[in-house]
Amino acid sequence: MVKLSVIVPFYNVQTYAPDTLRSLRANARQDFEFILVDDCSTDGTPEILDRAARDLPGAVVVRHEQNGGLATARNTGLDAARGEYITFLDGDDWLAPGYYRELLSSIEELGCDFVRTDHVQCIGRTRTIHRVPHGRRGVVMRPREVILPADRSTPVDYAYAWAGIYHRRLLDDGLLHFRHGLRTAEDRPWIWRLHREAESFAVVGLLGVFYRRGVASSLTQIGDVRQLDFIRAFDQVIEETARDVDADQLLPKAIRTYCAIISHHLGSTERFEPAVARKLRAMSAAALKRMPQGVLNDALDSMDLERAVRLRRLRRRPTTGEVAA
């Protein structure tokens, strides 16, 4: 029986994939499987994965015929997963030796639906610990109870799918798949759905994932139209949260977060191609008009003056034909 399925999408990461795969070998166990999804790479990544299929115990390589993006690649891995527990890793990140053994032990001891962990962010040679914004460690709670408050960072703002482990019953209940085709912010509707609909979770003070930032090929570094998928992602968060039994309490948090992300992108439009920057402004204006206006007004009133003015000005912008995704 497979105890743990590890889903790892790869796309044009030939520089980093060897480190990732070496770290997986240092975490291998007879009852672990590693589902390596090649998302139609065009560099040397496929050859690296072919070698891994021979050298990494439990490795299975799955290939896409066309590039689908991170969300679709993770879904491919989920469809192939056989494990009692599931976790994720990105193809340019790496792990501490023995990390998955400790992660698995933590969720088995706690007996909850999912466990979230801290991680180490790596920019060049700089290492910074990033912690789940939740003070209670090793305590099982209802996930929806930690979504609020609206004006403070909470576990739904710590959306990294690879910073945790998930029981298979969440997959069987339809809670682990991502929205097909999302190229960025794919983990935002995913983490909100988990916290609204799963029964139990815990946070543990376990470090072992090393998250590589500043990679030139990463979408966080690219200013093309794929970045605008955050609008589709947060529209989904708003739509699904609005149907929740506690929508009156949860929507202010969702809308305030959406506004903060819009403001963040508007404040750094120099990194976008000019046509994409125009589309960002048009689509963001349309998104603000779609939100429940009373809740939006309250969210803007709670934000700092600079962000509130920027968003109110944008909301007054006439909607044009540029709003199509």
* pLDDT above 70: percentage of residues in the chain: 95
Cα 62–Cα 66–Cα 68 angle in degrees, nearest 5: 85
Single-letter amino acid, residue 80: A
Distant-in-sequence, close-in-space partners of 34: CB < 8 Å, separation ≥ 6 = 6, 8, 24, 28, 56, 58, 59, 60
- Distance, in Å, from the CA atom of 77 to the CA atom of 277, rounded to the nearest integer, reads 33
Could you give the count of Cα atoms lying within 13 Å of 145 in the half-sphere of its Cβ? 9
Dig out the tokens for 206 from the structure. 């376990």
Q: Which of 290, 296, 292 is nearest to 312 (CA)?
A: 296
SS3 52: helix
Residue 84: DSSP 8-state:
S
Asked if residues 103 and 163 have their Cβ atoms less than 8 Å apart, the reply is no
Q: Taking the domains of the chain in order of start, what are their residue ranges?
A: 4-220, 223-323
Q: What is the model's pLDDT at position 271?
A: 86
Start-end of H helices in the chain: 17-25, 45-55, 70-80, 99-110, 168-172, 187-197, 229-242, 247-266, 274-290, 293-301, 305-315
The C-alpha R_g of the chain, in whole angstroms, comes to: 20
The pLDDT of residue 189 is above 60: yes
Q: What is the model's pLDDT at position 221?
A: 46
pLDDT tens for 112-162 read 999 999 999 999 999 999 999 999 999 999 999 999 999 999 999 999 999
- Distance, in Å, from the CA atom of 145 to the CA atom of 148, rounded to the nearest integer, reads 7
Q: What is the model's pLDDT at position 225?
A: 86
pLDDT band of 323, cuts 50, 70, 90: low
As a whole number, mean pLDDT of residues 239-266 equals 97
Asked if residues 134 and 156 have their Cβ atoms less than 8 Å apart, the reply is no
- Distance, in Å, from the CA atom of 137 to the CA atom of 30, rounded to the nearest integer, reads 30
> Can you tell me which residue has the tokens 């097909």?
180
Asked if residues 20 and 92 have their Cβ atoms less than 8 Å apart, the reply is yes
Q: What is the pTM of this model?
A: 0.93
Phi-psi region of 124 (alpha: psi -120 to 50; beta: other; left: phi over 0): left
- Distance, in Å, from the CA atom of 219 to the CA atom of 154, rounded to the nearest integer, reads 24
As a whole number, mean pLDDT of residues 103-120 equals 98
Going from the C-alpha of 321 to that of each of 85, 122, 220, 284, the distances in angstroms are 45, 40, 26, 13
As a whole number, mean pLDDT of residues 18-43 equals 97
- Mean of the per-residue pLDDT values for the chain? 94
Residue 149: DSSP 8-state:
-
Of 20-29, 106-115, 191-200, 314-323, where does mean pLDDT reach its minimum? 314-323
Phi-psi region of 12 (alpha: psi -120 to 50; beta: other; left: phi over 0): left
DSSP readout, 24-47?
Answer: HHTT--TTEEEEEEE----SSHHH
Domain 4-220 coded CATH 1.10.10.10: no
The pLDDT of residue 215 is above 80: no
